[in-house]
């Protein structure tokens, strides 16, 4: 089979969100080729994209993507031989071992029984914004999942709280934040929430996310977080956005990476760190208000600053509100 390399690579990258680096389930680190599609399933996310072939096999996803990324040829040839997928370019060849028996437990996925419906604009955008506040781990599912209800989207890490008034018409359901943020950068136009799964699709790609139907925080706990007694208005400096853009260099691999931000009447100081390095910036700023220190995810804070620089502040917390979005950050002592 002759194929355009970049197009084939893009096809695989669009469903890599459903693979795992390590074999959590049998073949969860693999792409599964069938006669009409390529699919993947890591136990939490399932993805399938249309792809015509006469093949049926499993192959290590990471190895195949790395190989295709390194080959410079515009067109390549693919062959199956001796339980290997042979990738042939100009004056170059490589072989990757395949598994002819499909062991991935896709039968566990309750595919939609009813017709998918048109997705409302901004559904995935709002879910992605909310996901940036969540943190991973199994300590508490409520801080690793975004809460989608028919009228709003909520998320928290127990300290910072976000609420988006949004009439999606679906839920209530808890969607893993990491799965939302891993979705391919493509436009989905269909949606269905059924049997504890969140499904989105377009004419080429179908993605399903295994969700939770467990209870979320009581509504009064969330609503109380947004109350601002004895507060005053402040205007956050415009210089914050450019400083955050630079600080994201040391947080770009983790949308929820927290940074320390100090704000005084004369300056902004931003500090962020990841395993491979750190970043610190101090610059002059025009700001009228009490000195404050906050700990916040930079990517989320950047999203909010693109909507508004106005905020309310009291001795305990800062609140930003614009249109249908409310966000509360505790102040550090």
Query: Domains (ranges, CATH) in the chain?
Result: 2-108 (3.10.150.10), 117-224 (3.10.150.10), 228-330 (3.10.150.10)
Element (H, E) at 317: strand 317-322
Long-range contacts of 263-272 (CB under 8 A, 24+ apart): 263/236, 263/237, 263/287, 263/289, 263/291, 263/292, 263/293, 263/294, 264/291, 265/289, 265/291, 268/237, 268/239, 268/240, 268/243, 270/243, 270/244, 270/298, 271/247, 272/247, 272/248, 272/298
pLDDT at 251: 66
Name the phi and psi angles at 5, rounded to 5: -60, -50
Alpha helices in the chain, H assignment, sequence order: 5-13, 61-70, 123-131, 177-181, 219-225, 239-247, 298-305
What are 40's two structure tokens?
Answer: 């993947």
Comparing C-alpha atoms, which of 57, 48, 111 is closest to residue 79? 57
Q: What pLDDT, on the 0 to 100 scale, is given for residue 155?
A: 96
8 A C-beta contact, residue 275 and residue 323: no
Regions of the chain where pLDDT drops below 70? 137-138, 251-256, 333
Q: What is the pLDDT of residue 279?
A: 87
Q: What pLDDT was estimated at residue 311?
A: 93
pLDDT at residue number 193: 95
What was the pLDDT predicted at 287? 80
> Which two three-digit tokens encode residue 158?
């127990």
CA distance 189 to 177: 20
pLDDT on residue 2 = 94
Q: Which residue has the tokens 């943190």?
A: 135
Q: Which pLDDT belongs to residue 138?
A: 65
Which residue spans within 143-217 are E strands per DSSP? 145-148, 152-156, 161-165, 173-176, 190-194, 197-201, 205-210
**DSSP type of residue 108:** G
pTM assigned to the model: 0.90
Distances (CA, A) of 16 to 21, 48, 230, 261: 10, 10, 49, 34
Q: 13: closest CA among 193, 204, 252, 199?
A: 204
Dist CA 244 CA 73 (whole Å)? 38
Task: Give, as one character, the DSSP assignment of residue 29.
Answer: T
Could you tell me the sign of the dihedral formed by the alpha carbons of 8, 11, 16, 18, in that order? negative
Prior bond to 117 cis, omega within 30? no
Per-residue model confidence as pLDDT tens digits over 167-215: 988 889 999 999 999 999 999 999 999 999 999 999 999 999 999 999 9
| CB-CB contact of 44 with 179 (8 Å) | yes
The Cα 24–Cα 211 span in angstroms is 18
pLDDT tens-digit readout, 268-312: 899 887 777 888 989 888 788 888 899 988 888 989 999 999 999
């Amino acid at each position: 089979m002759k194929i355009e390399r970049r197009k084939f690579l893009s096809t695989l990258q669009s469903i890599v969100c459903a693979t795992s680096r390590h074999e959590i389930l049998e073949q969860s680190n693999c792409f599964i080729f069938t006669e009409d599609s390529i699919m993947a399933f890591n136990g939490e996310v399932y993805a399938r994209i249309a792809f015509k072939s006469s093949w049926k096999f499993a192959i290590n996803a990471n190895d195949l993507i790395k190989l295709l990324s390194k080959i410079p040829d515009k067109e390549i040839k693919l062959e199956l031989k001796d339980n290997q997928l042979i990738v042939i370019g100009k004056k170059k060849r490589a072989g990757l071992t395949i598994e002819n028996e499909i062991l991935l437990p896709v039968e566990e996925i309750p595919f939609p029984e009813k017709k998918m419906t048109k997705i409302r604009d901004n559904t995935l955008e709002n879910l992605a914004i909310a996901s940036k506040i969540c943190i991973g781990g199994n300590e508490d599912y409520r801080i690793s999942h975004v809460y989608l209800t028919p009228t709003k989207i909520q998320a928290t890490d127990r300290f910072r709280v976000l609420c988006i008034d949004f009439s999606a018409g679906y839920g209530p359901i808890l969607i893993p934040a990491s799965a939302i943020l891993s979705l391919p950068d493509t436009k989905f136009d269909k949606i269905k929430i059924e049997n504890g799964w969140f499904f989105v699709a377009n004419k080429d790609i179908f993605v399903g996310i295994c969700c939770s139907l467990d209870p979320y925080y009581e509504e009064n706990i969330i609503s109380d977080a947004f109350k601002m007694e004895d507060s005053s208005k402040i205007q956050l400096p415009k210089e914050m956005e450019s400083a955050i853009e630079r600080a994201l260099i040391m947080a770009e691999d983790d949308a929820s990476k927290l940074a320390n931000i100090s704000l005084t009447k004369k300056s902004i100081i931003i500090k962020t760190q990841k395993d491979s390095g750190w970043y610190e910036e101090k610059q002059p700023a025009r700001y009228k208000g009490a000195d404050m220190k906050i700990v916040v995810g930079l990517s989320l804070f950047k999203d909010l600053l693109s909507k508004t620089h106005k905020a309310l502040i009291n001795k305990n917390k800062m609140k930003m509100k614009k249109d249908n979005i409310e966000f509360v950050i505790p102040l550090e002592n």
